[in-house]
Amino acid sequence: MLKQKKIVSRGAGEFDPVDVAAYSALGGFDSLKKAVGMEPLAIIEEVKKAVLLGRGGAAYPAGKKWEHLYHIEASPKYIVCNADEGEPGTFKDKLILDKLPLRLIEGMAIAGYVFGAREGYIYVRGEYRKIQRGLKKAIENARQAGYLGENILGKAGFSFDIQVVSGAGAYVCGENSALLNSTEGKVGRPRIKPPHLAEVGLFLKPTLVNNVESLASIPAIIEMGGEEYLKLGHPQSGGTKLICLSGHAARKGSYEIPLSGLTLRDVIFDPELGGGLKEGKKLKFYHLGGQSGRIGGPEQLDTVYSYADLKSAGLSVGSGAVVVMGEDVAILDYLKGVAEFFIHESCGKCVPCRSGNKQILRILERLATPGLPTEDDLAALRRLIETLNNAAFCGLGRTVTAALESAWKLFPEEFEANVRPENAKALAQAS
Ligand SMILES: Cc1cc2nc3c(=O)[nH]c(=O)nc-3n(C[C@H](O)[C@H](O)[C@H](O)COP(=O)(O)O)c2cc1C
């Protein structure tokens, strides 16, 4: 049985990505044509029926977000696509941006029609230079073919265009309010919320911010209808998901799978997906959803890969990253890498994140050193986790601890291996 289900990635690599005629030959822009014959609220109804959860990581229902924005009576409204893709181990938006930019453009144009927006922005991570060039070409070609610009498809009053904005490589700029600040040319730091971005977003106007994969899924939802899209997945999270396998997986890469029926075991070991671990290594753990996600072990392998099932197992889909790690990886070493990432990427605005990550790294280093750590280190680590979870200013600081907490539950013996009562005694005698 085929494990992959190509919906949002259908046609990837099969034609010149910027060729509008080739995309149209595969049914491209048919959904936009269908959408302009529908009432905006009817389109939102399909997105709601599809139960499309935001594919950027936070899993907020797109239909709910769209409905909320629709009912805000202010203009102009902006459509912003989050193509920052900063989460380590995540390279699934790249597949769409690189191979199917016209599908993203079509999804954004449908959103433009729904909200009466004239301007859309795609905020692309700075490292994706070549992709940015391709995206600009695809936009230009779509404009020339009449799918962007004034009175699109001859529909009076439907005018929408897209600009590409380049980030400069900061992870925090993937957070939607930091992304808007950066798009406006300000320092890319998160904003205080509320006000919600739907009300006070880009240039302080009502704004839709959706991930690349979320927006590129809209044409399929319009084409097949929300109910059919829902059936591809789980009743609480419809459709398919692009996942990215990396680390010690034998078959690293992006794959699109239905959000139902496949377990983590399938994802990691099926020959069509992860293909097991390279060099015949034994699985030790896997890190889901990027560095901000949770870590799972072999005993959770039979969990179905859906938002709801993973949540029940204490895990999450997040960005779709699946970093597979073999038996030879020490968990403390792995977590030190995670902490170093967050130290590098903390924007420094709030103390818990700016200083907390450094303290976490210091404790992890102590815990990994024989004869050094005491019970106090474990207590301090617990306090830091609590502080970051409760007092960090934005989602970056609040998710720092997900890997730590979940790994601690799975491998308590590795956290505690060097902690012995005699360490405390030795320390007391030395001081
Ligand atoms: C620190 C941080 C980094 C994030 N990075 C990204 C990112 O690179 N791409 C993305 O789509 N969402 C990212 N998000 C999530 C966005 O804030 C937001 O939830 C998303 O753009 C909403 O789109 P969606 O509902 O379609 O997923 C990040 C969030 C945080 C807190």
Ligand 1 atom showing the smallest separation from residue 215 Cα: 26
How big, in percent rounded to 5, are the helix, strand and coil portions of the chain? Answer: 50, 15, 40
Place of tokens 């449908």: 110
d(CA 268, CA 252) in angstroms, rounded, equals 10
pLDDT of the chain, 431 residues: tens digit per residue? 679 999 999 999 999 999 999 999 999 999 999 999 999 999 999 999 999 999 999 999 999 999 999 999 999 999 999 999 999 999 999 999 999 999 999 999 999 999 999 999 999 999 999 999 999 999 999 999 999 999 999 999 999 999 999 999 899 999 999 999 999 999 999 999 999 999 999 999 999 999 999 999 999 999 999 999 999 999 999 999 999 999 999 999 999 999 999 999 999 999 999 999 999 999 999 999 999 999 999 999 999 999 999 999 999 999 999 999 999 999 999 999 999 999 999 999 999 999 999 999 999 999 999 989 999 999 999 999 999 999 999 999 999 999 999 999 999 999 999 997 776 666 677 66
| The total number of residues written for the chain in this structure | 431
- CA 396–ligand 1 middle distance (angstroms): 10
d(CA 292, CA 28) in angstroms, rounded, equals 35
CA 10 to chain centroid: 20
- The response to whether residue 306 sits with its C-beta less than 6 Å from ligand 1 reads no
With beta carbons less than 8 A apart as the criterion, state whether 142 and 20 touch: yes
Predicted structure pTM score: 0.97
What are the structural domains of the chain?
20-231 (3.40.50.11540), 240-326 (3.10.20.600), 331-430 (1.20.1440.230)
- CA 85–ligand 1 middle distance (angstroms): 8
Residues 6 or more apart in contact with residue 97 via CB below 8 angstroms:
83, 104, 124, 128, 131, 134, 135, 212
Ligand 1 atom showing the smallest separation from residue 60 Cα: 25
